[in-house]
């Protein structure tokens, strides 16, 4: 199935074993799916290749058990090798998310094929100029941020001098207007940000800690997707 055609980045969970406060990735993903999240990315800077393949297997399984294999896209951060090995093992992984210093998107596209999803982090410096001029033929969306400085990714938005550049809502509105592909915004995003973030016109939000680190991940996920759809108000 071509998962590019169903890609929905409106409520996007990024998660790895280091983000779950001791709970299983499987349980966090299940909570996010039950709470209405539409896209899942497995991201770990500590798991081995075999560990990541196992995570792919259990996550694809939980997506299937939720009846969402044809609607929720499963991506892996950085690891083209893991995606290829998981697929070789018959696991349904739909694509990859890469950043500026990872495997080039054209290589990802070549190895993953035309039906796979390839996401790219937008460059921090000269963000608007970069997005306006980037050749987007190989990618399906841009990941942009941070909205706020975040301990989940300490280098996000950090310039060589150590200062962190966060993204203003005005800038995100412009980003949405000029980007040839959908834009998903993350980095310190919490429920209280969603109304204003939605108003910028961007296509979605991504989070690690707001769901994976929540005391009640299901309630947190429900609150966020409800807010994104304009159903509830933040406390």
Ligand X SMILES: Cc1ncsc1CCOP(=O)(O)O
Show binding-site residues: 41-45, 77-78, 102, 121, 150-153, 188, 208-209
- Identify which of residues 69 and 164 has a Cβ nearer to ligand X in the complex: 164
**Tokens representing residue 151 in the block:** 């301990």
CA–CA separation, 149 and 189 (whole Å): 9
Q: Taking CB within 5 to 8 Å according to partner kind, which of ligand LCLJCK34, Mg ion, ligand X, none is near residue 119?
A: ligand LCLJCK34
Q: How many CB atoms lie within 10 A of CB 161?
A: 5
Q: How many CB atoms lie within 10 A of CB 141?
A: 24
Show binding-site residues for Mg(2+): 78, 102
Cβ at position 172, least distance to ligand LCLJCK34 in Å: 13
CA–CA separation, 197 and 188 (whole Å): 12
Binding site for ligand X (CB under 6 A): 14, 145-146, 150, 152-153, 156, 186-189, 207-210
- Identify which of residues 111 and 232 has a Cβ nearer to ligand LCLJCK34 in the complex: 111
Query: Residue with CB nearest Mg ion?
Result: 99
Residue 27 burial by Cβ neighbours in a 10 Å radius (0-12, 13-18, 19+): middle
Q: Taking CB within 5 to 8 Å according to partner kind, which of Mg ion, ligand LCLJCK34, ligand X, none is near residue 189?
A: ligand X
CA–CA separation, 121 and 215 (whole Å): 29
Binding site for ligand LCLJCK34 (CB under 6 A): 12, 14, 41, 43, 77-78, 97-99, 102, 119, 121, 143, 153, 184, 186, 206
Number of Cα atoms under 13 Å in the Cβ half of residue 61? 10
Cβ at position 208, least distance to ligand X in Å: 3
Residue appearing with tokens 């108003």: 199
CA–CA separation, 115 and 5 (whole Å): 8
Q: Taking CB within 5 to 8 Å according to partner kind, which of ligand X, ligand LCLJCK34, Mg ion, none is near residue 97?
A: ligand LCLJCK34
């Amino acid at each position: 199935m071509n998962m590019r055609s169903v890609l929905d980045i409106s409520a996007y969970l990024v998660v790895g074993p280091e983000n779950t406060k001791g709970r299983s990735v499987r349980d966090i993903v299940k909570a996010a799916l039950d709470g209405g999240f539409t896209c899942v990315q497995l991201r770990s800077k500590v798991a081995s290749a075999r560990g990541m393949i196992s995570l792919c297997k259990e996550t694809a399984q939980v997506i299937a058990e939720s009846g969402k294999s044809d609607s929720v896209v499963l991506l892996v951060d950085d690891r083209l090798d893991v995606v290829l090995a998981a697929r070789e093992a018959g696991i349904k992984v739909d694509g990859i998310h890469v950043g500026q210093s990872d495997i080039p998107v054209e290589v990802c596209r070549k190895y993953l094929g035309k039906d796979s999803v390839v996401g790219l982090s937008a460059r921090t410096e000269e963000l608007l100029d970069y997005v306006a001029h980037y050749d987007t033929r190989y990618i399906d969306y841009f990941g942009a941020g941070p909205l706020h400085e975040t301990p989940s990714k300490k280098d996000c938005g950090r310039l060589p001098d150590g200062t962190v550049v966060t993204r203003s809502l005005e800038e995100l509105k412009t980003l949405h207007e000029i980007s040839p592909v959908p834009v998903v915004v993350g980095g310190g995003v919490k429920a209280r940000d969603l109304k204003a973030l939605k108003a910028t016109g961007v296509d979605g939000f991504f989070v690690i800690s707001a769901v994976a680190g929540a005391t009640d991940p299901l309630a947190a996920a429900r609150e966020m997707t409800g807010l994104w759809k304009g159903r509830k108000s933040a406390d």
